[in-house]
Amino acid sequence: MASTDSVLKPDHGTKQKHFIFTEEHERLRESISSYVLKELTPHAEEWEKAKWFDSAVFPRMGELGFLGLSYPEEYGGQGGDYFCNIVLAEEITKAKCGGLAMGIAVHTDMATPPVHLFGTEEQKQEYLVPSIKGTKISSLGITEPDAGSDVSGIKTRAVKDGDEYVINGSKTYITNGHRSDYIVLVTKTDDSAGYDGFTLFLVDMDLPGVIREKKLEKLGMHASDTALLAFQDVRVPETAVLGQVGKGFYHIMWELQGERLIGAAGCVAGAQQCMDQTLKYAMERTAFGRQIGKFQVTRHKFAEMATKIEAARQMVYTTAWRFNNGEYPVREISMAKLYAARIAVEVADECIQIHGGAGYMTEYGVERVWRDMRLNRIGAGTDEIMLDVIGRSYGL
Ligand SMILES: Cc1cc2nc3c(=O)[nH]c(=O)nc-3n(C[C@H](O)[C@H](O)[C@H](O)COP(=O)(O)OP(=O)(O)OC[C@H]3O[C@@H](n4cnc5c(N)ncnc54)[C@H](O)[C@@H]3O)c2cc1C
């Protein structure tokens, strides 16, 4: 409640940004932040240039407990809530290495959640436990050369043969595809069953017939590895089925919700950092005898950016609160993903502009934020697909 004293001056510095976070989350934030700044940020440049971040990051993060923040303790997790994952997604952006953040997010919030939710006890012991330790790295295979947005158009087939399945097909743009020990693979098992003809599999990447074909070159996210993969007569036992046979489409649609929400959280945090860094620059750089930040036009640019970031943040946090409560808010997740991805690109673009020529130089890192952020309007479902999901949710 307001008091006579508290209304004397606006409070711009409050630490508690939203009701979803507790003191415990703030302690976690400090601990992740200090790890990131000490052990990851110093390597960002080197990993960007090498187009590969050190895979040793996984076991180190596992050792620190950061790869299983919301997984049950019985599997080696920390037993926290979903907001812990949001904290990780936000703090890891301090590494200033979008590719690293993406490689970790694919592992913690995209490939392993289906293992946790749909996996058998044996599968959890074999894949989830080592993933939380960071001794097994995961990837997720949905997209194919001929089908991305239209997941139902995939051609990878898994055909039953006795007590095995034989898998044939191709997957592309697979993050962690060159380093992963296993992949959560989306396949078609029954051509005549429509959406009930898809099945997920857990496929070890060292099986005969799994071919890591090509390391794909990209606009940004350089530190992550992106693979074109082929599956040629790959034989897996029936026990490799993840979840229910024929329900893979529904399983993967659920997975995409967490992927989109965590991506949105990363966009907000990345945009905030880019703005903060640019704010500092605008206070230091002078033109026509004054700080460029003091031109009204620049001040208004910051006001626009800050307002958009705040709106996106509130959407992400409130939707995360519903997701954490066990709701399935597909419409709002799509809105948060769409909006956060768009404003992150807009903010990065404006930050380049405020930096002038310096913004175009790699040394300031702002152009990299723009290149990295640009992916978010495509990956995990394009802007157009988000708009379609939102529009259809109104019966259109
Ligand atoms: C760096 C990177 C990493 C990735 N990592 C992974 C990963 O780890 N695993 C994985 O499975 N995938 C991954 N992806 C794939 C990503 O999810 C897809 O690229 C994305 O879903 C879009 O699919 P697409 O590229 O086939 O585009 P397409 O589906 O061919 O779309 C092309 C254009 O058509 C538009 N379009 C398509 N359908 C409609 C429609 N119904 N209405 C209006 N417009 C439409 C799209 O919006 C887009 O503008 C990654 C992609 C990139 C670039």
Q: Is 345 in the pocket of ligand 1 (CB under 6 A)?
A: no
Is 63 a residue of the active site? no
Residues 116 and 156 in one domain: no
Q: Both 128 and 90 in a single domain? A: yes
In-domain check, residue 209: yes
How far is the centre of ligand 1, averaged over its atoms, from the C-alpha of 271 (Å)?
A: 22
Tokens of 149: 């947005």
Q: Given the residues 259, 332, 350, 367, select the one marked as catalytic.
A: 259
* Contact call for residues 151 and 140 (beta carbons, < 8 A): no
For residue 343, give the nearest of 266, 261, 271, 262 by alpha carbon: 271
The total number of structural domains that make up the chain: 3
What are the residues facing 287 on neighbouring strands?
290
Report whether pLDDT(321) > 90.
yes
Rounded Cα distance between 114 and 160, Å, is: 22
Exposed e or buried b per residue across 107-142, where buried means at least 16 C-beta atoms within 10 angstroms of its C-beta: bbbbbbbbbbebbeeebbebbbbbbbbbebbbbbbb
Which of 104, 382, 383 best tests ligand 1's pocket when mutated (most atoms within 8 Å of CB)? 382
- The answer, yes or no, to whether any atom of ligand 1 lies below 6 A from the CB of 263, is no
Average confidence score pLDDT of the chain: 97
Ligand 1 centroid to 260 CA: how many Å?
13
Q: Is the CB of 99 under 6 A from ligand 1?
A: no
Are residues 207 and 165 part of one domain?
yes
Of 226, 246, 266, which marks where a domain is finished?
246
pLDDT tens digits, one per residue of 333-347: 999 999 999 999 999
306 in the same domain as 364? yes
pLDDT tens digits, one per residue of 160-198: 999 999 999 999 999 999 999 999 999 999 999 999 999
Q: Is residue 323 part of a domain?
A: yes
Protein residue with least CA distance to atom 7, ligand 1: 174
Domain boundary, last residue among 202, 220, 246: 246
Q: Could you tell me if the CB of 65 is within 6 A of ligand 1?
A: no
Looking from the CA of residue 381, the nearest atom of ligand 1 is 21
| 121 and 37 part of one domain | yes
Domain boundary among 215, 246, 277: 246
Q: What is the pLDDT of residues 236-267, one digit of tens each?
A: 999 999 999 999 999 999 999 999 999 999 99
Pocket probe for ligand 1: among 106, 138, 143, 156, the residue whose CB has the most ligand atoms within 8 Å is 143
82-132 tens-digit pLDDT? 999 999 999 999 999 999 999 999 999 999 999 999 999 999 999 999 999
**6 domain-assigned:** no
- Determine, yes or no, domain membership for 67: yes
**Are both 124 and 154 inside the same structural domain?**
no
Identify whether residues 387 and 280 lie together within a single domain: yes
Do residue 256 and residue 361 come from a single domain? yes
Are 256 and 382 in a shared domain? yes
* Residue ranges making up the domain that contains 46: 23-137
Nearest CA-CA partner of 138 in 188, 178, 98: 178
Closest ligand 1 atom, residue 375 Cα: 53
Q: How far is the CA of 150 from the centre of ligand 1 (A)?
A: 8
Q: Which CATH number belongs to the domain containing residue 297 in this structure? A: 1.20.140.10
Total-model pTM: 0.97
Residues near 170 by beta carbon (within 8 Å), at least 6 away in sequence: 144, 145, 155, 156, 228, 229, 230, 231
